[in-house]
């Protein structure tokens, strides 16, 4: 999933920089870029965790699910909101999904912290 999210972040970033730049307002472009940045950050986290954890514990599994689903909900809802707003048909139902994805990402980071603390203590 980390590799897929990373590849898509590069594709979406290029799409935003070259195609959407012409039809998006600066605010919409900034929002789209935020989605791309968060997607890339979490793609890298998924790759690092994938190479360093064996996902044998429930904690590690939940952490990974939270990173995967949180990234999807956060970034892809931003893409949907900005693309639909630029066409004049804003999909408002996506608005509450973005913070939900953010909350799930925070949970993933807290689980990661807990995993490290648990291994130290």
Determine the pLDDT at residue 12.
96
Q: Taking a C-beta distance cutoff of 8 angstroms, is the pair 23, 86 a contact?
A: yes
Count of C-beta atoms within a 10 Å radius of residue 81: 22
Beta-sheet strands, E only, within the chain: none
| pLDDT (tens digit per residue) in 3-31 | 999 999 999 999 999 999 888 989 999 99
The confidence band for 71, taking pLDDT boundaries of 50, 70 and 90, is very high
Mean pLDDT confidence for 95-101: 96
What's the mean pLDDT when you consider all of the chain? Answer: 94
119, pLDDT greater than 90: no
How far is the C-alpha of 48 from the C-alpha of 42, rounded, in Å? 10
The confidence band for 97, taking pLDDT boundaries of 50, 70 and 90, is very high
90, pLDDT greater than 90: no
The confidence band for 104, taking pLDDT boundaries of 50, 70 and 90, is very high
Q: Taking a C-beta distance cutoff of 8 angstroms, is the pair 24, 86 a contact?
A: yes
What is the rounded radius of gyration, in angstroms, for the C-alpha atoms of the chain?
Answer: 16
The confidence band for 121, taking pLDDT boundaries of 50, 70 and 90, is confident
């Amino acid at each position: 999933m980390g590799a897929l999210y990373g590849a898509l972040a590069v594709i979406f970033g290029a799409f935003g920089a070259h195609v959407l730049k012409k039809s998006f307002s600066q605010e919409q472009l900034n929002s789209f870029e935020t989605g791309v940045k968060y997607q890339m950050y979490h793609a890298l986290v998924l790759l690092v965790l994938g190479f360093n954890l064996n996902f044998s514990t429930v904690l590690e599994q939940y952490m990974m699910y939270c990173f995967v689903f949180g990234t999807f909900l956060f970034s892809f809802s931003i893409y949907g909101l900005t693309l639909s707003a630029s066409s004049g048909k804003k999909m408002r139902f996506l608005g509450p999904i973005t913070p939900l994805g953010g909350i799930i990402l925070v949970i993933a980071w807290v689980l990661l912290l807990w995993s490290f603390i648990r291994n130290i203590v």
